[in-house]
Amino acid sequence: MSEVPVLPNDWQLIVGLEVHVELATKTKMFSASANRFGDEPNTNIDPVTLGLPGALPVLNQHAIELAMRIGLALNCKVQPCTFHRKNYFYPDLPKAYQITQYDHPLNVDGHLMLPGDVRIGIERAHLEEDTGKSTHFGGSSGRIHGSDYSLLDYNRAGVPLVEIVSRPDIRTSEQARQYVAELRSILLAVGASDAKMEEGSMRCDVNVSVHKPGTPFGTRCEIKNVNSIRSVGRAIDYESRRQVDLIESGGTIRQETRHWDDSTGRTETLRTKEDADDYRYFLEPDLVPLVPDPAWIEAVRAALPVLPAARRKALAELCGVDKDGESAIVVVERGQDDYVRAVISAGGDARRAVIYVQQAFAEQGAAPKVPAKDLAALTILERDAKVTSTQAKTLLTDLIESGGGDVVAMANKRGFEALDTAALEAMVDAAIAAEPGAWQKYCDGEEKALGALVGAIMKSSKGKADGKAATALLQARRG
């Protein structure tokens, strides 16, 4: 975990996030064209996508279902809703309006829990359609202004989106990163989106303001183009310092949209509130209100998988690890928690099982090749001190390479046998005798001196000694 920069002089950070996710539907929000990333430009188009005169939108039922899954997974109320038109001119917006939800969105009033039981409110999660993609050529900024020409790809136009709007409940950039990571794992778990930030199927707009506790929130700036979880943190850290510095030097914050530049690590003004479009929202007359049948909502709710937070909690309880710790998070994110359960069912040591899987199974996916019983046998060998933890790691690598096997035979083949306690005690005596200076320093409280002592033990045992056990013995001797 990186260091969390703290704002000076009691300034408090206030962050809210707007996250857009493309839904994993086969077809578009309002037409039968394919919803597929990476195809040849302008191949997944039709009269509706292009906004041709006379074309009309028809709602994609699967998009509604995926949006409900998101809402229900975020503890939202799913309600009857309507669609509005958001009017503005831009070449990648074919109808010159985006169909979105305004005052009556599908999902409202939910929340998401972060590590440490921090509750982040979800104001709404509404359905809307994506725009096409513009690429500008010539000029320096890569934006339309000053460019020589632009190319338009409407494959993305009309792709179904859900916009998830948090309440301004986030107080640190670390929480913001955790929020995005947790949201992403939920989206993946419910199968609503592939949530690839690098491909743009999950995109974050970050609203940042600063204030002093006990005073109203400051003016906020919205930061766009934040395309990775790391950038979310960096952009917030930069922007909050910018705002504090500006206020403390006598300036005032303008409400504006700012652009995050990942290469310079800075935000810059994109447009001010005065330049902002008046979107002239009004009820989309080409669609009728969407009133999800309560039975449908309940069926979607019943079909939801167990969500990552609950899976982490269950796994942590089973294995005796922290539910917000790295092993629970990583193993659940990879979907390997069922595998860990299988290892435990096969008689494996629970804590070692989850840690082995976390550390060594990054490439393995949800169904690792190593049979659960083999990994279970390895955890038992180590637990019973038949092999040292260092040896266990070597055997784990062997297991993964061979795709399973008899770990006892593997240990024998490598000539591994753990030293018994009496032999280890003798080696500790020898090490203290050999390194009196180090022992004295260690006894005086210099923890670093431990390294020389353990090193001596490992050397005299030719690596067979268990480093942890040796450390424990040295600590016991020191008293």
Partner 1 sequence: MQKLAEIVAGVSNGTLSASAVLEEHLKRISTRESEINAFNLVTADQARLDAAKIDADIKADKKVGALAGVPIALKDNMCTRGVETTCSSKILQGWKPPYDATVVTKLRNAGAVIVGKTNLDEFAMGSSTENSAFGPTKNPHDITRVPGGSSGGSAAAVAAGFAAASLGSDTGGSIRQPAALCGVVGVKPTYGTVSRYGLVAFASSLDQIGPFTSDVRDAATLLEVISGHDPMDSTSIPQSALSLVSVLDQGVKGMRIGRVTDLPEGCEPDVLARLEAAFDALRSAGATIVDVKLPSLQYCLTAYYLIAPAEASSNLARYDGVRYGNRVDAADLNAMYAATREAGFGEEVKRRIMLGTYALSAGYYDAYYGKALKVRRLISDDFARAYKDVDTILTPTSPSTAFKFGSKTDNPLAMYLCDVFTIPTNLAGHPAMSVPFGVGADKMPVGIQVLASTLGEQAMFKVAAELERAS
Which positions touch partner 1 (CB under 8 A)?
47, 50-59, 85, 87, 89, 91, 94-97, 144-145, 152, 278, 280-282, 285-288
Cα distance between residue 381 and residue 366, in whole Å? 25
Residue nearer to partner 1 on the CB measure, 95 or 312: 95
- Cβ closest to partner 1, residue 149 vs residue 199: 149
Cα→Cα distances 267→6, 171, 332, Å = 19, 19, 34
> Cβ neighbours of residue 1 under 8 Å, at least 6 residues apart?
174
Shortest distance (Å) from residue 45 CB to partner 1: 10
Residue ranges of alpha helices (H) inside 31-166 are: 61-73
User: Angle CA(284)–CA(132)–CA(30) in degrees, nearest 5?
Assistant: 40
Minimum separation from the CB atom of position 286 to partner 1 (A)? 5
**Cβ 223 vs Cβ 206: under 8 Å:** yes
User: What is the distance between the terminal CA atoms of the chain, rounded to a whole angstrom?
Assistant: 33
Tokens coding 364: 């393995």
Residues 351, 353, 354, 359, Cα dihedral to 10° = 120
Of 89 and 415, CB closest to partner 1: 89
In the numeric block, which tokens belong to residue 324?
Answer: 């917000």
Which strand (E) or helix (H) includes residue 373?
helix 372-383
From CA 215, how far away is CA 307, in angstroms rounded? 37
CB of 284 to partner 1, least distance (A): 8
> Can you read off the two tokens belonging to residue 47?
């009269």
- CA 479/CA 477 separation, integer angstroms: 5
Closer Cβ to partner 1, 87 or 471, answer by number: 87
Work out how close the CB of 51 gets to partner 1 at its nearest, in angstroms, rounded to a whole number. Answer: 5
**CA distances for 370 relative to 145, 338, 364, angstroms:** 56, 14, 9
Nearest-approach distance from CB 44 to partner 1, in angstroms: 15
Q: How far is the CB of 48 from partner 1 (least distance, A)?
A: 9
3-state secondary structure of 185: helix
- Nearer of residues 51 and 371 to partner 1, judged by Cβ: 51
CB nearer partner 1, residue 53 or residue 216 = 53
Positive/negative CA dihedral, 107, 113, 114, 119: positive
- Least separation in angstroms between CB 157 and partner 1: 11
**Edge-to-edge, what's the strand order for the sheet holding 84-87?**
97-100, 84-87, 282-283
Q: How would DSSP label each residue in 293-305?
A: -HHHHHHHHHHPP
Beta partners for 211?
Answer: 12
Residue 223 Cβ vs partner 1, minimum distance, rounded to whole Å: 24
Rounded distance between C-alpha atoms, residue 454 and residue 461, angstroms: 11
Smallest gap from Cβ 280 to partner 1, in A, equals: 4
Q: Which is nearer to partner 1, 128 or 237 (CB)?
A: 128
**Of 145 and 448, which has the nearer Cβ to partner 1?**
145
Q: Rounded to the nearest whole angstrom, what is the least distance from the CB of residue 166 to partner 1 in the complex?
A: 25
Q: Are 372 and 450 in contact (CB under 8 A)?
A: no
Least gap, CB of 277 to partner 1 (angstroms): 10
Specify the residue, 54 or 214, whose C-beta has the smaller distance to partner 1.
54
Q: Which of 154/238 has CB closer to partner 1?
A: 154
**Closer residue to partner 1 (CB): 101 or 243:** 101
Nearer to partner 1, 141 or 412 (CB): 141
Say if residue 452 is exposed, middle or buried (CB neighbours under 10 Å; 0-12, 13-18, 19+). middle
**Shortest Å, Cβ 26 to partner 1:** 17
* CA atoms of 415 and 130, how far apart (whole Å): 61
